[in-house]
């Protein structure tokens, strides 16, 4: 009996190598997207990290932020139209009809209400974006009313890449543990087919998608977890992967010379700054801080280190976001001026030593800080570079006695609002969370609070407040504004329809064809 079993197993093994076509060869080639980390949180109410690639293809928000701005800031999602009351506190969304969740449940106002209320109730991830909401109601099957305590731009909030997705009520009942087994039920064009933990997520076309399907769109998408940049490069070169996500700037340049590979650069809301600790000597001295802002070689860093991956920053609000002001008066690289400012700062020569913490895995941080260190030493300022993992350097920065004078920071907002940077990084904060400059200026705080109150009703007036606040940050030399980062997609040239949207760190597979 055992012998017969062994024989049958051997027969199967032999057959496996007898030239049978593989499953992949039998059907249409799926789209393969190489991502560098597995999905951590599957629950769309909680997920707030690299999950966005899955979230934005499986789930849909009420409205999508429109790429490249323009007068029309939004594209309808599960809401076809919306309006706001005169006081800016009551928002009415008219919902799309004939929409189904992947589990067959019908999408209606009750489901939308339940989705948002669940996200708010769980209070995890980016749920704080709904903090101003007072009441959510569903007067009929296709109308959703959101009332807020103060005027806030609910349309912008509803277009967030996190915490704003509509979820099937039946799925919500099953709870977070069910989601975290690799399950989900949204209304998006793709449904979750399989999660092979640590290896791959397979998404299949949702046949009943309200948007319908046309020839050429992908029936299946494979999100492969590939942690090594070199492996990703080999995969895209061979055509096994259609998109890769990891390579650093120098590798991207090499890939661009390959005729089969395209590199698309587009707008992003990410930017990088060096936060200057305003409470720790010698950076508690404003002239000394100003000297540092003049000692940063902005041009060389952009050209030689970011290599086309970033643009020069004007203020903390990037050029891709409303509220950006290109007229702000920014410092430029000028070592002579920096030296004069150091000399006139009153900081004794023996005390002209600063420490800088940065994320050790970033080549861009490391190289630009080595350049900075070399320039500062020319004007008599000594520098201690302290690389480390983000968790460690962030923890240290929050406690004044462990904090360094400078810390690197890359920031992006949860939804399209300049106040995310202006509040998160610089408004008075106790205890310190992200205001690692320890900046506290009542005049600045007032400008920001006034701006936030205007956002929902008059964005132009809000922008004026934000411009004044940003100039205050520049004059007080609270940060060195290093660069506005470009969005980037590296993909095989035979893939059509790729477009980058700064609001979503993702590619919408529904728009693609081969």
Binding site for other proteins (CB under 8 A): 9, 12-13, 15-17, 20, 22-24, 30, 40-41, 47-49, 123-126, 128, 176, 180, 193-194, 196-200, 202, 220, 222, 224-228, 230-231, 234-235, 237-238, 240, 388-392, 394-396, 414, 424, 431, 433-434
Tell me the C-alpha distance between 471 and 468, whole Å.
Answer: 5
Angstrom CA distances, 72 to 49, 65, 67, 116, 267, stand at 28, 9, 10, 24, 17
CB closer to other proteins, 337 vs 514: 514
* Identity of the residue, 12 or 443, whose beta carbon is nearer to other proteins in the bound complex: 12
Residue placing its CB nearer to other proteins in the complex, 220 or 366: 220
* Residue 312 C-beta: closest distance to other proteins, Å: 25
Rounded to whole angstroms, the Cα distance separating 341 from 339 reads 5
| Spatial separation of the C-alpha atoms in residues 468 and 448, rounded to whole Å | 9
- Cβ nearer to other proteins, comparing 226 with 376: 226
Residue 15 CB, shortest distance to other proteins, in Å, is 5
Residues 72, 61: Cα–Cα separation, whole Å: 17
Mention every residue, 6+ apart, whose C-beta is less than 8 A from residue 357: 386, 387, 388, 393, 396, 397, 404, 406, 407, 408
Residue 307 CB, nearest approach to other proteins (Å): 24
Write the DSSP assignment of 177-190 as a string of letters.
HHHTTT----SSSE
CB nearer other proteins, residue 129 or residue 252: 129
Residue 429, C-beta contacts closer than 8 angstroms, at least 6 positions apart: 435
Q: Which two tokens stand for residue 419?
A: 């106040």
Question: What is the C-alpha to C-alpha distance for residues 492 and 259, in angstroms, rounded to an integer?
Answer: 9
Q: Between 6 and 370, whose beta carbon lies closer to other proteins? A: 6
The sign one gets for the Cα dihedral 294, 331, 368, 412 is positive
CA distance 430 to 113: 33
Distance (Å, whole) CA 461 – CA 326: 16
User: How far apart are CB 499 and other proteins at their closest, in Å?
Assistant: 24
State the minimum distance, in angstroms, from the CB of residue 26 to other proteins: 9
- Of residues 1 and 460, the one with the C-beta less far from other proteins: 1
Distances (CA, A) of 497 to 155, 264, 411: 26, 11, 28
Q: How far is the CB of 175 from other proteins (least distance, A)?
A: 12
Kindly state the smallest distance separating residue 199's Cβ from other proteins, in Å.
5
At its nearest, how many Å lie between other proteins and the CB of residue 282? 25
Nearest residue (CB) to other proteins, 26 versus 327: 26
């Amino acid at each position: 009996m055992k012998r017969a079993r062994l024989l049958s197993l051997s027969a199967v093994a032999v057959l496996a190598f007898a030239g049978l076509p593989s499953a992949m060869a039998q059907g249409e080639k799926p789209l393969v997207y190489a991502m560098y980390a597995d999905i951590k949180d599957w629950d769309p109410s909680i997920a707030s990290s690299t999950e966005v690639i899955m979230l934005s293809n499986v789930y849909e928000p009420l409205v999508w932020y429109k790429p490249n701005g323009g007068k029309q800031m939004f594209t309808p999602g599960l809401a076809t139209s919306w309006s706001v009351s005169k006081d800016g506190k009551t928002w009415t969304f008219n919902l799309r009809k004939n929409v189904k969740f992947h589990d067959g449940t019908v999408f209606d106002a009750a489901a939308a209400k339940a989705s948002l209320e669940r996200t708010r109730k769980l209070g995890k991830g980016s749920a704080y974006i709904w903090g101003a909401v007072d009441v959510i109601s569903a007067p009929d099957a296709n109308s959703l009313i959101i009332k807020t305590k103060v005027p806030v731009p609910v349309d912008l909030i509803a277009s967030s890449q996190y915490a704003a997705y509509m979820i099937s009520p039946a799925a919500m009942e099953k709870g977070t543990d069910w989601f975290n087994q690799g399950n989900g039920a949204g209304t998006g064009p793709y449904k979750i087919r399989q999660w092979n933990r640590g290896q791959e997520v397979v998404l299949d076309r949702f046949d009943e998608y309200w948007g319908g399907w046309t020839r050429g769109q992908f029936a299946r998408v494979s999100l492969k977890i590939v942690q090594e940049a070199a492996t990703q490069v080999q995969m895209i070169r061979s055509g096994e992967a259609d998109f890769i996500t990891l390579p650093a700037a120098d590798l991207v340049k090499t890939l661009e010379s390959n005729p089969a590979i395209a590199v698309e650069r587009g707008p992003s809301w990410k930017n990088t700054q060096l936060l200057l600790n305003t409470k720790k000597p010698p950076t508690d001295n404003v002239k000394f801080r100003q000297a540092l802002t003049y000692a940063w070689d902005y041009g060389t860093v952009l050209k030689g280190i970011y290599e086309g991956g970033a643009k020069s920053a004007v203020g903390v609000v990037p050029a891709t976001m409303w509220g950006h002001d290109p007229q702000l008066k920014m410092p430029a690289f000028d070592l002579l001026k920096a030296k004069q400012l150091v000399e006139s700062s009153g900081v004794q020569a023996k005390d002209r030593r600063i420490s800088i913490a940065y994320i050790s895995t970033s080549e861009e941080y490391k190289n630009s800080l080595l350049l900075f260190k070399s320039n500062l030493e020319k004007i008599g300022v000594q520098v201690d570079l302290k690389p480390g993992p983000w968790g460690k350097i962030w923890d240290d920065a929050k406690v004044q006695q462990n904090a360094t004078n400078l810390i690197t920071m890359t920031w992006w907002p949860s939804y399209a609002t300049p106040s995310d940077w202006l509040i998160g990084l610089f408004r008075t904060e106790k205890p310190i969370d992200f205001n690692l400059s320890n900046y506290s200026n009542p005049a600045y705080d007032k400008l920001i609070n006034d701006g936030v109150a205007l956002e929902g009703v008059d964005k132009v007036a809000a922008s004026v407040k934000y411009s004044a606040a940003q100039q205050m940050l520049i004059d007080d030399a609270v940060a060195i504004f290093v660069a506005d980062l470009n969005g980037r997609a590296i993909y095989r040239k035979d893939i059509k329809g790729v477009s980058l949207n700064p609001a979503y760190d993702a590619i919408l597979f529904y728009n693609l064809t081969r």
